[in-house]
Amino acid sequence: MTTAIIFDMDGTLFQTNLILEPALEATFDILRANDEWSGNTPIEKYREIMGVPLPVVWETLCPKHSTTQHLQSNKLFQQALIAQIQRGQGALYKGVEETLAALSTHYPLYIASNGQTAYLQAIVAQYQLDCFISGTYSIDLIASGNKSELVQLVKEQHHIESGYVVGDRSSDINAAQHNQLKSIGVRFDFAQDSELAQADYIVEDFIDILKIDRIID
């Protein structure tokens, strides 16, 4: 029987808040320069919906824009995020490397994220996460944009029968429940208590995952 741990990326492994504001500002600077936006950058609104599929992000932030404009805005945003990562402006959460190192000696570890492929690859490369992570899965692989289906894909491809999903939002907790896995909620930057309340376990610090009963015997 294969037991594995599947991690969300944004707000779970990676401190997206460190690069979010400058990348979003850079994107909306271009939109303002092109007369496609007026007013302030909707950073707070984005934080509220962090973790939802990217099409929903742009529908929410720019409801009056066309689908074509949404796609172009997202392309600009992805480029700005990757530039921030490659400049070393982001960071993993405290304890991530030590915890992944310890867990990887007991379980295969995977990433399943609502982030796009190039963005996830940039983080994995910048922080050499492939030392610990056996595979990284982007929502790009799922036409519906449903996180539960993405976790199901990971589970099926690697014959996973038990394990955990670690994340900060309801989509991660639901993905665990829908796939008969245990959920570990991390109370970090974008987490909401109302969503974490449904998790099997909740941690305040990443390294506390190692203290969960029987996760490492």
Domain covering 2-15+91-211: architecture? 3-Layer(aba) Sandwich (3.40)
Residue 47 has what pLDDT?
78
Instruction: Please state the domain extents for the chain.
Output: 2-15+91-211, 17-86
Residue whose structure tokens are 């915890």? 99
What single-letter DSSP state applies at residue 216?
A: -
Tally Cβ neighbours within 10 Å of residue 150. Answer: 24
The CA distances from residue 56 to 7, 46, 63, 156, 200, in Å, are: 22, 10, 10, 27, 27
- Which one-letter amino acid corresponds to residue 16? T
Whole-number mean pLDDT of the chain? 95
Whether the per-residue pLDDT at 23 is higher than 90: the answer is yes
Tally Cβ neighbours within 10 Å of residue 34. Answer: 10
pLDDT digits 0-9 by tens, 137-180: 999 999 998 999 999 999 999 999 999 999 999 999 999 999 99
Least confident of 15-24, 89-98, 179-188: 15-24
> What is the SS3 assignment for 24?
helix
Residue 51 has what pLDDT?
65
